[in-house]
Amino acid sequence: MATGTGSIRKLFCSDLDGTMFPFRGMCDPECLSKLKCMLKANPDVALCYVTGRSLLLALDAIEEHNLPEPDYLITDVGTSIYSKSKRGAWIQDARWRRQLGSVWHENTSQDILDAAVAINGVEIQPRTGQSEFKIGLYVSPKRKTLALRELHRALERLSVPYTLVLSHGADSRVLLDVLPRGASKKRAVKELMGRLGVKAHDAVFAGDSGNDFDLLVSRINNVVVNNASPSLKFRVLRKAAKRATLPTLYLASGRYGCHNGDFVCGVLEGALYFGVFSKTQGAGLRIQIHSVHGLINKSYTDLGRDEDTGGQVVYVVELAKALSRLPEVAQVDLMTRRIDDDMYPAYRKRFEYINRKLKIVRIDCGPKGYIKKTRLWPYLDQYVDNVMEYIKGEGGMPDVIHANYADAGYACTKLSEKTDAVFVFTGHSLGIPKMQKLGVNGKNFAQYDRVFNFSKRLAAEQAAIKKADAVIGSTRDELDNQYSSYRIDTGKFHVIPPGVDTAQFHPPTKPLSQHPHILDAMTRGLDDKRKPIILAASRLERRKNIPKLVEAFCGSRKLRDAANLVVLTRMRSRPGNEQKEIYDRMKKIVRDAGCQGSVAFVGFIDPKIGLGTLYRNAARSRGVFVNPALIEPFGLTLLEASACGLPVVATMYGGPSDIITDGVDGILVDPKSKTQIERALVDVITNRRLWNRLSSNGIKNAARFSWDDAARKEVALFHELLENRSEQGLSFLFGKEARLLR
């Protein structure tokens, strides 16, 4: 028999009669074909049939039902283990045979047959039901109790170490197998696992009957096909609850498009559920992070190209990286839309591998080219269908799906109905608060809806909030001031702040910039480049309120005399209409005030190289970072700037009030008040002691936030949700099975 050489990664075991195929009739051809394809595509998954049949009868069944050819066979209710020779012949495992031979001597089988034939209500099975270490009997249901009692007495008189296994056949008779003590399907499967070096979390067994019972409540992954009797399901559930093996038990029910979960359909469903054909080695969480829109790659090189490629891209990429670093996570797939567009060639690859456990998966959805998120709504059902095809092709269902923004919320609401995954939702920004800021009302709703698809967005957000097992926000303020407009169970809401990449964002360590071209870009056109820099970095959209900052600066003689204003617009060569409108408005404010020599507008800077350098240059100048947004869901840029030692002035509305203590590690202002913005900036720029205090405390405050910490908190939440799901499922199933038994 082959031993563990590293070529076998997982072991997939299944009973035959009543599991792979019905007692009468044939296998479902569609699910059987899918199973064959997956086995063929995964040669490192060993297939083993575990059956009460003899070797010859098992081979007959495989041929009759056109089943996948197995790598191993465990026959005669676990008393024989077979593997294939190089020439294709089936060879019995000698070591397992010797172990059983040490329990029964050569005449034991005949002695048991002679004793059994004399018992009223017991009938000997045909010769094909007998083997060296298996005595096959039929027992009359009417005399079962008396017959078993007499058989026990007879075996005790013979001093035979034995095990009895009861099950039901195609007719009304009870099947009874007498085996050497310790012999069973479970023992044989564990023996095979040991030879192959396969751990419990990489082994799966599917069964349907009483002689599968010990395996079905063991610590390997187990599948009960849907056609199993209600009484067996109930017994398995009850015993698994006592043994604490419920997490490794799955009852097929017809999920994943595997018909109704009967026979081979249930076997395939269980294989997908436990990730038999997944490329992931070992146990651990399988997580999907969905962020449908935007331009997403591992270095987010197009950050700020438009309003769809902002902070959410940083969030999902950095969170995915941090999750993949945790030992309890087996696999992270960052799911997004595939873009086949000559203008964006980096996004046509279907897979972008970031590390051994993390990859970006791009799913076809809608037109080939890049389109904005507001135009994606008609194609999200296609996204859902293609994600399911990807999941089935990968051979493993996710344990967790994490939706980001309303479009992914819509998709994951649908996916949560097709999978057994825990569903968490992060809105990032929500439709109702945006409508309020834009002044949307009953009269102009139709006009705005044509542009922003608010009707679809709000419905998707509400459905995601209702369906999700948890809603993750960055601050408590999100629940109080954003989600308050929706129907939400507040117990679902969990605050998990995002992190700061301290390798990229850290205080200045050298007197001169490591990237002088960035300093040149920041100060180009300024009359006095030695002045402190007031820095703003934001996409140009109305909610960000950057023109108000420009008005406050240009309208203040104190600010113009004391500092320069640098605005990182993140605009590329082809800005959108809203971006161009805001940019032209800011240029007019500067021109009308005659302060062109004090204001610089910087376009795009590589975020991986330039953003930290941008903050540090401003910190060296003893400047200040300002975020004047009308409302800011979190304010990651504030933490990034603070980590670089740059004091911050921020909006008092939204997340900043949760992460900044006013006057201690930053200053909060009313973004609608030019007076408050001006006063705060003047104070920080001109008061050295205040600047030093805010800088020092800001560095300490930012250190409290890390992506690794965020990932650990998310995984702890995922485990809690999965445990709750198991408990709820157990309660439901016990109730359901109890009703069926009455």
CA atoms of 194 and 439, how far apart (whole Å): 68
pLDDT score for 731: 52
Residue type, 61: A
CA atoms of 631 and 437, how far apart (whole Å): 9
Token output for 233: 């399901």
pLDDT digits over 86-131, tens only? 888 999 999 999 999 899 888 888 888 888 888 988 889 888 878 8
Q: Which of 64-78, 567-581, 675-689 has the lowest mean pLDDT?
A: 567-581
pLDDT score for 739: 45
Fold adopted by 285-495: Rossmann fold (3.40.50)
CA atoms of 680 and 682, how far apart (whole Å): 6
Assigned CATH class of 1-90+184-277: alpha beta
pLDDT score for 356: 87
pLDDT beyond 90 at 206: yes
CA atoms of 81 and 79, how far apart (whole Å): 7
Alpha-carbon dihedral sign for residues 543, 548, 550, 553: negative
454 confidence band (pLDDT: 50, 70, 90): very high
pLDDT beyond 50 at 740: no
Residue type, 209: S
Residue type, 519: L
Token output for 547: 């023109």
pLDDT beyond 70 at 280: no
CA atoms of 502 and 509, how far apart (whole Å): 13
pLDDT digits over 535-561, tens only? 998 878 888 899 999 999 999 999 999
Q: Which residue has the tokens 């071209």?
A: 517
Region 12-39 average pLDDT: 92
pLDDT digits over 158-167, tens only? 888 988 888 7
Asked if 18 contacts 209 with a C-beta cutoff of 8 angstroms, the reply is: yes
* DSSP label at residue 686: H
| b/e burial code for range 116-137 (CB count within 10 A of at least 16 → b) | beebebbeebeeebbbbbbbbb
210 confidence band (pLDDT: 50, 70, 90): confident
CA atoms of 450 and 445, how far apart (whole Å): 9
CA atoms of 80 and 58, how far apart (whole Å): 12
In sequence order, what DSSP letters do the residues of 652-669 get, joined into one string?
SSBTHHHH--BTTTBEEE
Element (H, E) at 83: strand 80-84
pLDDT beyond 60 at 418: yes
Q: What is the mean pLDDT of the chain?
A: 88
pLDDT digits over 607-633, tens only? 556 788 889 999 999 999 999 998 887
Distances (CA, A) of 634 to 435, 473, 534, 639, 652: 19, 9, 21, 10, 11
pLDDT score for 511: 55
pLDDT digits over 677-701, tens only? 999 999 999 999 999 999 999 999 9
In 3-state terms, what secondary structure has residue 335? strand
R_g (Cα) of the chain, nearest Å: 33
Asked if 407 contacts 293 with a C-beta cutoff of 8 angstroms, the reply is: yes
Asked if 434 contacts 632 with a C-beta cutoff of 8 angstroms, the reply is: no
In sequence order, what DSSP letters do the residues of 98-150 get, joined into one string?
HHHHTTS-TTHHHHHHHHHTTSTTEEEPPGGG-BTTBEEEEE-GGGHHHHHHH
Strand pairing report for 80-84 and 90-92: antiparallel
Assigned CATH class of 516-702: alpha beta
What lies within 8 Å, CB to CB, of 498 at 6+ separation is 315, 318, 319, 474, 634, 636, 705, 707, 710
pLDDT digits over 491-513, tens only? 999 999 998 888 888 898 765 55
CATH of 104-181, one of 3.50.50.60, 3.30.2010.20, 3.40.50.620, 3.90.1070.10: 3.90.1070.10
Fold match between 1-90+184-277 and 285-495? yes
pLDDT score for 742: 37
In 3-state terms, what secondary structure has residue 84? strand
Q: Which of 248-262, 343-357, 413-427 has the lowest mean pLDDT?
A: 248-262
pLDDT beyond 50 at 732: no
In sequence order, what DSSP letters do the residues of 716-729 get, joined into one string?
HHHHHHHHHHHHHH
Asked if 430 contacts 407 with a C-beta cutoff of 8 angstroms, the reply is: no
Q: Which of 301-315, 351-365, 464-478 has the lowest mean pLDDT?
A: 301-315
- The domain segmentation of the chain, as residue ranges, is 1-90+184-277, 104-181, 285-495, 516-702
